């Protein structure tokens, strides 16, 4: 540590002490006479049981409502055919996949498959048409799926961000009804991305329009009953 | 492109943009005369109110969620210093560097030094109220660093050298035709055949910023929620510009007001339900990112978190007033406020407009005296109470407005004419004999009203009333006279 | 029932029609009404303008006057005003506590627990919705902010109006939006207040009502003052007056009014 860095560090720590001292005395001055009791009387479980046909139907509805295209398949064996149809329809020539994506999901795809390991450059990602991933959990009430960067079949954040088309495969076992059920299943120690529909904005007259900086096209392959 | 913001900077104020230059009625006067502005605001707030009502109506346990949000925030404030220390420990343990800033000026200096340290001469920014508050963009510009706002509405504001007028949609005061004009005028390489279709406008923003995102070395963000127990930060957004800024640069600098901390990860189960439905009227916003310190191989490998006080400790010291720190910046109170709908956000001077701004800004800055423009903010409300009903964390804004009015009166360094009138009236109202006398004096108003028994013009300050409304003549018989006459009791 | 009436300062001095109609209505329903003559004002204007210290003696006076009425055997206290009852119920104790007067705060809470806005008294306490009124006019109802959001009277006034014979109730568009009165707001921020009033008046005119009614004389003074300036021909009438009217004529017919003021 040179002299300037040492000086900066000393300055940082003294500011820290000043702010904390202010906050401590303010907290004492403003604290209510009776301690706060946190009430959590809201529903921690959703109306529909995880993984059921009903919860998948609701997820289908809410995803579709926010302009994702949903493809229902009965079993994992049918994923490849659904993914292939989506990629062919979109005329995707190259796709990126996270390092741990089941290889079988791209069976039959004769375009270029770029596996993100070792990591692809941003330029590579920008010239890739689509990305195919799994998801950690999906929320039927809100039409949301969550990508966990630590999961090998979801991968680091950039791969689902730069390509303009995201194909996400969601397994029935990972579908819950409500936000609290999803939050309980997630580990925040690595990056998470909650995705609800393709990128959108409400900034023009507060009306939602799809398609800004994130992927403009979102297909979901929903596996289960 | 230019990065001149044309903001009316208050460079000497270490608080940043928390105070305007004129009182609310003065600023509102101009806004009310702008019929285009009123149409834009009316259309946008009407749209969002309907969307919010629909998605809130879907949630059976909405009131329970509001109470949970309210009590989690109250608990947070009661433990704020400890939670911040915990957050600092967790972020540091995960490879982040935590800085503390007493005020806006100090926060800006920290960020400018950090950016300079990277050698970058431009940064990409996610919309953040905290850095709007500190006036970071101007500070960066002064240091020769170009700051690119990437949120669509913030981009519109920046390109048009305007000021934000809403938390969520800083360009809510602009309609699609005006946005098209701004893009055509200010975006280099824009397609000259650009129409005002919102989708086309969004595409133009995408094209304009794409290269910046892919090459940016430094990203700057705010925070929606910071989880003390895990050191996890989150940004709630729509467009993906947030994801770009949080993911692609080598260095990420995040500035957060100290009140953004929540105790546990589990608390997000409440706020991720309350915020999107209250704010954009969606079941869930398109993207929410969470990250914890530095993740090897994923995203920025250098991470700085700046914790900002800037008056928040003043607010925390007030037992009732500290509720204003519970705000999650959803903007529902703005959208339902009949005053905001008519004047827009600029009339509030501070970058925090609307009902919550009217109680937050004067507490953050303090009220220096009767001429302080922030003393006029708590009066910018008819106390209709719509803000409380819409608030997802049940902030009793009407009560805080009254409380801040009291603070404004307490700051009177010399008695005003209004003070004298109020005292005289209170005296009459505590002595029944004097009250009857005053009523009889009021009866003289019948002379003023003339034969039509309608008063159409009064001197200032009551001219504010008669400029647009008549006043009936006082009745020939008061209630108590009628009572005496019909019930035979002396009243 | 023995019921004490709060005339309200505005009702006593400027709009006696409302408290008079309240008295006549309750007497017609067979109740005994008393008027504690020392009453003045609840202090709302002081409180809502931020004069919490100045309001303290006004609040104390109100609490004492009506506390004595309760001691004298009054069962309930009624005011034909949502905002005055709102102040009594939600602000009196706050003003007292702020001044450190816990005794006054407790007394204020006891009084507030027995104080009702007119539609609350009728529907919740007396259990009537049909008060036997007759009012052959096309009427629209403006729910005032404090009755709606401070007192949560909900549709009680509408329940009462629906039972009035001859009355045609028409819907007011955007009914729940504030009219822009807001006490001293109407003067301090007169232009914003007027802009809000303009929209409220447009909605009243759209409803094609002959009469706009509400539970607060203050808001009616504001809306009525605007409609009068427009020469719109639409009148504002307090809810109590409509409920007090019978087929023998308007209840307040024995009140001395000039032709022009009606």
Q: Any chain C CB within 8 A of the CB of B46?
A: no
Predicted local distance difference test score (pLDDT) of residue C259: 35
Tell me how crowded residue B429 is: count the other CB atoms within 10 A of its CB: 26
3-class state of residue C3 by DSSP? strand
| pLDDT (average), residues A4-12 | 76
Rounded CA separation A104/A107 (Å): 5
Tell me how crowded residue C87 is: count the other CB atoms within 10 A of its CB: 28
Res. B374: pLDDT tops 70:
yes
pLDDT band at B346 (very low <50, low <70, confident <90, very high): very high
Which residues 95-114 of A have a C-beta within 8 angstroms of B? none
C10 with C47, same domain: the answer is yes
Predicted local distance difference test score (pLDDT) of residue B491: 77
Tell me how crowded residue C98 is: count the other CB atoms within 10 A of its CB: 16
pLDDT in tens, B232-255: 999 999 999 999 999 999 999 999
Q: Which two tokens stand for residue B227?
A: 């989880």
Evaluate whether B27 touches B347 at the Cβ level (below 8 Å).
Answer: yes
Predicted local distance difference test score (pLDDT) of residue B183: 95
Q: Which chain A positions have a beta carbon within 8 Å of B153's beta carbon?
A: 203
Among candidates B246, B224, B175, which has minimal Cα distance to B330?
B224
Rounded CA separation B406/B410 (Å): 6
Residue of B nearest to C41 (CA): B429
**CB contacts < 8 Å between A and B, how many?**
272
pLDDT band at A103 (very low <50, low <70, confident <90, very high): very high
Among candidates C252, C192, C204, which has minimal Cα distance to C228?
C204
Rounded CA separation B206/B169 (Å): 17
Q: Say which residue, B101 or A225, is predicted with more confidence.
A: B101
Task: Measure in Å the smallest separation between the Cα of B16 and chain C Cα atoms.
Answer: 26
Q: Which two tokens stand for residue B4?
A: 């001149």
Among candidates B214, B297, B294, which has minimal Cα distance to B254?
B294
Predicted local distance difference test score (pLDDT) of residue A208: 79
pLDDT band at B9 (very low <50, low <70, confident <90, very high): very low
Q: Any chain A CB within 8 A of the CB of B45?
A: yes
In terms of average pLDDT, the best of A87-91, B158-162, B172-176 is A87-91
CATH of domain A53-223: 3.40.50.10420
Q: Which two tokens stand for residue C47?
A: 């409180």
Among candidates C74, C88, C86, which has minimal Cα distance to C36?
C74
Question: What is the C-alpha R_g of chain B?
Answer: 26
pLDDT in tens, A28-78: 999 988 889 999 999 999 999 999 999 999 999 999 999 999 999 999 999
Contact C149 B384 (CB under 8 A): yes
Which residues 48-87 of B have a C-beta within 8 angstroms of A? 48, 51, 60-61, 64-65, 67-68, 71-72, 74-75, 77-81, 84-85
Q: Any chain A CB within 8 A of the CB of B199?
A: yes
- Domain of C217, CATH number, reads 3.40.50
Name the residue range of residue C121's domain. 2-125
Q: ipTM of the assembly?
A: 0.95
> In terms of CATH, what superfamily is B24-313?
NagB/RpiA/CoA transferase-like (3.40.50.10420)
C105 with C172, same domain: the answer is no
Contact B483 C23 (CB under 8 A): yes
- Mean pLDDT of successive 10-residue stretches along chain C, which has 262 residues: 97 96 98 97 96 97 98 98 98 97 98 98 98 97 98 98 98 98 95 97 97 97 96 96 88 44 36
Predicted local distance difference test score (pLDDT) of residue C23: 98
Contact A27 B78 (CB under 8 A): yes
Res. B10: pLDDT tops 80:
no
Res. B7: pLDDT tops 60:
no
Q: Which chain B positions have a beta carbon within 8 Å of A37's beta carbon?
A: 71
Which residues 255-284 of B have a C-beta within 8 angstroms of A? 258, 265-266, 268-270, 272-273, 276, 280, 282-284
**CB contacts < 8 Å between B and C, how many?**
215
Has residue C49 been placed in a domain? Answer: yes
Specify the number of domains making up chain C: 2
Q: Give the closest of C37, C51, C224 to B491, CB-based.
A: C37
Among candidates A138, A126, A113, which has minimal Cα distance to A221?
A138
C156 with C229, same domain: the answer is yes
For B295-389, strand residue ranges (E) read 302-308
Task: Measure in Å the smallest separation between the Cα of C135 and chain B Cα atoms.
Answer: 23
Predicted local distance difference test score (pLDDT) of residue A1: 60
pLDDT in tens, C1-52: 999 999 999 999 999 999 999 999 999 999 999 999 999 999 999 999 999 9
Q: Which chain B positions have a beta carbon within 8 Å of A133's beta carbon?
A: none
Domain boundary among C125, C154, C180: C125
Q: Any chain B CB within 8 A of the CB of A179?
A: yes
Residue of B nearest to A160 (CA): B243
For chain C, the distance separating the N- and C-terminal CA atoms, rounded to the nearest angstrom, is 32
Per-domain residue ranges of chain A: 1-37, 53-223
pLDDT in tens, B169-195: 888 889 999 999 999 999 988 999 999
| pLDDT (average), residues B326-334 | 97
Has residue C133 been placed in a domain? Answer: no
Contact A39 B230 (CB under 8 A): no
pLDDT band at B450 (very low <50, low <70, confident <90, very high): confident
Q: Which residues, 6 or more positions from A191, have their beta carbon under 8 angstroms from its beta carbon? A: A148, A149, A150, A156, A157, B289, B290, B291, B292, B295, B298, B299
pLDDT band at B115 (very low <50, low <70, confident <90, very high): very high
Contact B338 C178 (CB under 8 A): yes
C230 with C167, same domain: the answer is yes
Mutate to test the interface with C, among B38, B347, B383 (most CBs of C within 10 A): B383
Task: Measure in Å the smallest separation between the Cα of C31 and chain B Cα atoms.
Answer: 14
Q: Give the closest of C20, C55, C192 to B342, CB-based.
A: C192
Per-domain residue ranges of chain B: 24-313, 417-487
Helix, strand, coil distribution of chain B in percent, nearest 5: 55, 10, 35
| pLDDT (average), residues B206-217 | 92
**Average pLDDT of chain B to the nearest whole number:** 93
Res. B69: pLDDT tops 90:
yes
Contact A23 B84 (CB under 8 A): yes
Contact B67 A62 (CB under 8 A): no
| pLDDT (average), residues B33-39 | 92
Residue of B nearest to A191 (CA): B291
Rounded CA separation C48/B43 (Å): 31
Domain boundary among C125, C157, C182: C125
Contact A193 B99 (CB under 8 A): no
Q: Give the closest of A18, A23, A196 to B316, CB-based.
A: A23
Predicted local distance difference test score (pLDDT) of residue C252: 56
Task: Measure in Å the smallest separation between the Cα of A167 and chain B Cα atoms.
Answer: 15
Long-range contact pairs involving C254-259 (C-beta distance under 8 Å, separation at least 24)? C254/B486, C255/B475, C255/B477, C255/B482, C255/C16, C255/C17, C255/C20, C256/B475, C256/B476, C256/B477, C257/B475, C257/B476, C258/B453, C258/B473, C258/B476
Contact A157 B298 (CB under 8 A): yes
Q: Which residues, 6 or more positions from B211, have their beta carbon under 8 angstroms from its beta carbon? A: none
Q: Which residues, 6 or more positions from B38, have their beta carbon under 8 angstroms from its beta carbon? A: B31, B32, B342, C195
Predicted local distance difference test score (pLDDT) of residue C251: 55
Has residue C130 been placed in a domain? Answer: no
Q: Give the closest of B78, B244, B289 to A31, CB-based.
A: B78
Mutate to test the interface with B, among A13, A128, A204 (most CBs of B within 10 A): A204
């Amino acid at each position: 540590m040179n002299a300037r860095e040492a000086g900066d560090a000393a300055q940082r720590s003294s500011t820290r002490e000043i702010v904390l001292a202010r906050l401590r005395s303010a907290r004492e001055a403003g604290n209510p006479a009776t301690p706060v009791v946190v009430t959590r009387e809201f529903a921690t479980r959703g109306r529909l049981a995880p993984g059921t046909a009903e919860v998948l139907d609701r997820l289908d509805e809410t995803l579709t409502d926010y302009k994702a295209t949903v493809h229902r398949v009965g079993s994992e064996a049918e994923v490849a055919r659904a993914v292939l149809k989506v990629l062919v329809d979109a005329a995707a020539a190259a796709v990126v996949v996270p390092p741990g994506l089941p290889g079988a999901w791209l069976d039959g795809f004769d375009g270029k498959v770029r596996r993100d390991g070792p990591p692809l450059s941003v330029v590579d990602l920008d010239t890739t048409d689509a990305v195919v991933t799994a998801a950690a959990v999906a929320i039927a009430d809100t039409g949301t799926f969550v990508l966990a960067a630590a999961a090998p079949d979801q991968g680091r954040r950039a791969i689902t961000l730069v390509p303009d088309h995201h194909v996400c495969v969601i397994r029935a076992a990972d579908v819950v009804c409500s936000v609290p059920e999803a939050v309980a299943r997630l580990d925040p120690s690595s990056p998470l991305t909650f995705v609800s529909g393709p990128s959108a904005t409400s900034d023009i007259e507060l009306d939602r329009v799809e398609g800004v900086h994130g992927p403009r096209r979102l297909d979901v392959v929903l596996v289960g009953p | 492109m230019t990065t001149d913001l044309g903001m009316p900077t208050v460079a000497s104020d270490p608080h940043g943009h928390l105070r305007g230059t004129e009182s609310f009625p003065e600023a509102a006067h101009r806004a009310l005369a702008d019929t285009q502005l009123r149409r834009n605001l009316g259309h946008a707030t009407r749209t969002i109110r309907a969307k919010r009502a629909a998605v809130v109506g879907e949630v059976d346990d909405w009131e329970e969620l509001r109470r949970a949000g309210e009590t989690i925030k109250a608990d947070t404030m009661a433990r704020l210093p400890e939670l911040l220390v915990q957050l600092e420990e967790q972020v540091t343990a995960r490879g982040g560097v935590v800085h503390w800033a007493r005020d806006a000026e100090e926060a800006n200096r920290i960020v400018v030094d950090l950016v300079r340290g990277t050698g970058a001469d431009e940064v990409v920014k996610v919309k953040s109220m905290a850095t709007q508050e500190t006036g970071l963009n101007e500070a960066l510009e002064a240091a020769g660093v170009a700051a690119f706002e990437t949120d669509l509405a913030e981009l519109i504001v920046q390109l048009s050298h305007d000021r934000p007028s809403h938390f969520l949609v800083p360009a809510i005061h602009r309609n699609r035709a005006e946005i098209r004009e701004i893009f055509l005028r200010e975006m280099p390489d824009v397609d000259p055949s650009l129409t005002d279709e919102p989708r086309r406008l969004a595409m133009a923003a995408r094209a304009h910023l794409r290269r910046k995102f892919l090459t940016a070395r430094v990203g700057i963000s705010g925070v929606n929620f910071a989880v003390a127990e895990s050191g996890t930060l989150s940004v709630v957004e729509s467009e993906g510009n947030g994801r770009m800024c949080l993911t692609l640069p080598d260095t990420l600098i995040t500035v957060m007001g100290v009140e953004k901390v929540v105790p546990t990860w589990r608390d997000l189960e409440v706020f991720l339900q309350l915020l999107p439905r209250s704010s954009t009227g969606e079941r869930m916003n398109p993207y929410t990112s969470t990250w914890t310190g530095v993740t090897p191989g994923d995203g920025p490998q250098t991470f700085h978190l700046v914790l900002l006080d800037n008056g928040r400790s003043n607010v925390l010291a007030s037992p009732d007033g500290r509720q204003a720190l519970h705000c999650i910046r959803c903007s529902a109170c703005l959208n339902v406020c009949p005053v905001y709908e008519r004047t827009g956000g600029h009339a509030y001077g501070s970058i925090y407009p609307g009902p919550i701004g009217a109680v937050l800004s004067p507490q953050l800055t303090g009220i220096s005296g009767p001429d302080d423009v922030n003393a006029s903010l708590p009066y910018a409300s008819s106390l209709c109470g719509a803000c409380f009903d819409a608030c997802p964390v049940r902030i009793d804004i009407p009560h805080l407005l009254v409380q801040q009015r009291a603070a404004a009166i307490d700051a009177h360094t010399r008695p005003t004419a209004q003070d004298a009138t109020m005292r005289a009236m209170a005296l009459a109202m505590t002595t029944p004999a004097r009250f009857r006398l005053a009523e009889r004096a009021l009866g003289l108003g019948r002379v003023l009203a003339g034969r039509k028994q309608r008063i159409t013009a009064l001197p200032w300050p009551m001219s504010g009333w008669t400029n647009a409304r008549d006043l009936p003549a006082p009745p020939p018989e008061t209630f108590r006279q009628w009572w005496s006459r019909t019930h035979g009791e002396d009243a | 029932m023995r019921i004490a009436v709060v005339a309200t300062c505005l009702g006593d001095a400027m709009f006696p029609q409302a408290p008079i109609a309240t008295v006549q209505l309750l007497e017609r329903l067979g109740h005994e009404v008393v008027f504690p003559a020392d009453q003045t004002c609840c202090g709302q204007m002081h409180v809502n303008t931020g004069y919490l210290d100045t309001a303290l003696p006004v609040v104390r006076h109100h609490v004492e006057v009506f506390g004595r009425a309760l001691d004298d055997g009054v069962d309930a206290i009624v005011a034909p005003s949502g905002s005055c009852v709102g102040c009594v119920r939600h602000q009196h104790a706050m003003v007292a506590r702020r001044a450190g007067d816990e005794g006054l705060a407790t007394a204020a809470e006891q009084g507030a627990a027995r104080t009702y806005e007119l539609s609350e008294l009728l529907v919740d306490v007396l259990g009537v919705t049909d008060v036997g009124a007759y009012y052959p006019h096309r009427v629209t109802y403006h729910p005032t902010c404090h009755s709606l959001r401070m007192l949560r009277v909900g549709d009680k006034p509408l329940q009462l109006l629906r039972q009035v014979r001859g009355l045609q109730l028409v819907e007011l568009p955007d009914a729940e939006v504030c009219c822009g009165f807001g006490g001293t707001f109407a003067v301090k921020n007169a232009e914003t207040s007027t802009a809000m009033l303009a929209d409220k008046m447009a909605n009243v005119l759209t409803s094609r009502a002959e009469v706009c009614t509400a539970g607060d004389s203050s808001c009616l003074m504001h809306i009525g003052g605007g409609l009068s300036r427009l020469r719109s021909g639409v009148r504002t009438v307090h809810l109590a007056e409509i409920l007090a009217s019978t087929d023998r004529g308007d209840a307040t017919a024995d009140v001395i009014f000039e032709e022009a003021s009606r």
